Amino acid sequence: MTEPTTIHSHDQAQTLAQALPYIRKFHGKTMVIKYGGNAMTDPALQQAFAEDVVLLKLVGINPVVVHGGGPQIEGLLKRLGKQGEFIQGMRVTDAETMEVVEWVLAGQVQQDIVGLINQAGGKAVGLTGRDGAMIRAQKLKMLDSADPSKEHDVGQVGDIVSIDPSVVKALQDDAFIPVISPIGFGEANESYNINADVVAAKLATVLKAEKLLMLTNISGVLNKEGVLLTDLTARRIDELFADGTIQGGMLPKIAGALDAAKSGVNAVHIVDGRVPHVLLLEILTDQAFGTMIRSH
């Protein structure tokens, strides 16, 4: 019978000591975390995520969480007997679908995350783009990929006009952890459903965040042979777009990450949300657990 693996006290001390320079370096800095994928649906990973966010806050780092909720929206639409329609990968959001989006994101999903963080010992506050007039949006113009002169109507899908981060800053200064649903509002007070990756990237830029961390269901950006690319520059990403290595659902994620890196966010990390405590491993240790994108 094999002995259970134990971490010796020396190894534990080494691990904790390794975190010290990172804690010192990032103290007082803002980190925007896009939370999605398996990390949002697996109970053990949900708890690990909440613990990571609380620990970061307790050591003086300011985490800001932006969450998605595509599978949860899809699940409720199915229960309501509503068939989802997609154009070029974008969900067509009519008025009825928008109601479901708001209910799922700003209600169910957001409150679950807030509850988990509070249970782990943090003080989380849920926000949407309406709170503090944070995310102003307009209707997304979607041009046909084959014929750019043709425009598709995808309903209440939004494009960000501006982000006012003052409500987020006020909460951060007061020891709270903001949890943000990607819903914006327009000039006539109408609601817009916005891609959560895009919101996280833009928010990281306006907050002048030290890092943007995007949790995904893959280990990071892979080359055509399936090998993880741990360190990418803006120029290399342009090449990967051009040769089709980056495509599908990764396109908005990487495009947003690249914009953030070019706009002053020091580093953008695309990390595997299926790894327990991946946030702590990525931020507070020497190991790379995904792809880091740098502006140059």
Give the annotated binding-site residues for substrate: 69-70, 91, 193
Do residues 84 and 91 touch, judged by C-beta distance below 8 A? Answer: yes
8-11 long-range Cβ contacts below 8 angstroms, 24+ apart: none
State the Cα angle at 69 between 87 and 102, rounded to 5°.
85
Residues 167 and 161: their CA atoms lie apart, in Å, by: 17
- Please give the Cα distance from 69 to 15 (Å, whole number): 34
86 vs 93: CA distance, rounded Å:
9
Where does residue 3 rank: exposed (0-12), middle (13-18), buried (19+ CB within 10 A)?
exposed
Residue 63, token pair as written in the block: 């985490």
Q: How far is CA 170 from CA 45, 167, 209, in A?
A: 29, 5, 15
Binding residue positions: 69-70, 91, 193
Order the strands of the 290-294 sheet from edge to edge.
Answer: 124-127, 177-180, 62-67, 30-35, 211-216, 267-272, 290-294, 231-233
Helices and strands in the chain, H and E counts: 11, 16
Nearest-5° Cα angle at 35, 162 to 257? 55
Burial 211-243 (b: 16+ CB within 10 A, else e): bbbbbbebbbbbeeeeeebeebeeeebeebbee
